[in-house]
Each structure stands twice: as structure tokens, then as C-alpha cells.
Amino acid sequence: MSAPGTSGPVGPSGSPGSSGSSGSSGTAATGDSGPQIAEIVARHTIDVPGFPREGIVFKDLSPLFADGPAFRQVTDAIVASWPAGFDVVVGIEARGFLVAAAVAYATGAGVVPVRKAGKLPRETHSASYDLEYGSATLEVHADAFFTGQRVLVVDDVLATGGTAAATLELVERAGGSVIGLTVLLELSFLSGRMRLAGRPVHALLTV
């Protein structure tokens, strides 16, 4: 298993569903929007052992994004899980952008990208965090938010929580007010929620 603080795709080759889809274990799928939504995410996830390197099971959510009705159902579930609303959706590069754009369109909110270092053209805030080997840096435009704007952060997978923690820090340094984090899939054995203690986290599927 990858060490805590690791970012990028992580997970032991023996993790749940590693031999096929995440919903193939025979037990009911669970998640914060209930078993039906969890099952949709599970059925549209392909586990890819050994990608991008040995010992990792990559959770490929491409089939979920490619299935229009399923993607709409999970998008609607995300919107329903934050009834008090939000002004802006932050998507974390790169798959988070897909989720963020859909949620933003469904609610009339705007989208702000949090990007890997060196991609944004104007003044940025940066946050670095530890990886298994070295570190990674994420950036957001310094003027991305009005002070106090209510921000929902979204990503595809929550693993160790390093990426999400750095993103929440960036949003707040840029003046946004984080209402919470939504992920499509949470790898509970990597304890990302613990790293985000005190933050509202909503995962549509927890494995």
C-alpha cells in the first residue's frame, strides 16, 4: 500500500473490486447518497490493476462519464446532497473538471479549476503536498473568488486526502468559503476523511 501522503493513483492490488468492477464483490454498494447511487458508480467503475504503476489499482470512472443517464443521475445526486446550495464549484485537475462542469450547469453555479503547477496564466496561490516520492503542487488563480463565496469542491476519487486538503487550503487562501467536498468514489482504507477531519465530505461510493 502507498504511504500516507501519497497522491496520484494509489491502492493495494488486493483492494475491493480489484479483479473487475467496483461493484462485483457481491455485497451491496454503500455511499452517502444511498445504495442505488452507490451501485450506479460501482457498476460504471473499472478497476485497472498495475496502473500507472505496480501495486496500484486505478479506479477508472470513464464508463460513468460516458453513460449519459448514469452521469446525469450522479450529477443530480451531488446537487441534492448540498441543499443549502453553493455559488461556485471547484474541480480538481483533471477528472474533477468533468464533475464540476456538470454540477455547475445543473445549478447555475460557476466553475473554478484547481490546476497542476504552471498551467494557470495569471497570479496564483500554490499549495504543495507530499507524494510517495517528492511532492506535488496545485494552483488556483488568486482572484478566483469573491470573499465569502460558497464553494463546493469536487473530484473523482478521494484516496489519502492530500489533494483535497491542498485544494481546500487554496480555496480559502483565495477568499472562498468551502462548504464541503464531494467525490464520486472514496477509498476508505486510505483514510482520506480523517485527513479532512471537520470538513463535510460526501462520497457517492465508498469502498
Task: Report the interface residues with ligand AMP, using CB under 6 A.
Answer: 6-11, 57-59, 92, 95, 155-164, 192
Single out the catalytic residue among 39, 132, 169, 172.
132
Asked about 132 being catalytic, the answer comes back as: yes
User: Which of 60/87 has CB closer to ligand AMP?
Assistant: 60
Whether residue 93 lies in the annotated active site: no
The nearest distance, CB 181 to ligand AMP, in angstroms, is: 10
Of 162 and 180, CB closest to ligand AMP: 162
Nearer to ligand AMP, 3 or 80 (CB): 3
Give least dist CB 125 to ligand AMP, A.
18
Rounded CA-CA distance 182/96 in Å is 10
Strand ranges for the chain from DSSP E = 46-49, 57-60, 88-92, 110-116, 124-130, 135-141, 150-158, 177-186, 201-206
Measured between alpha carbons, how far is 99 from 46 in angstroms, rounded to an integer? Answer: 18
Catalytic residues: 95, 132
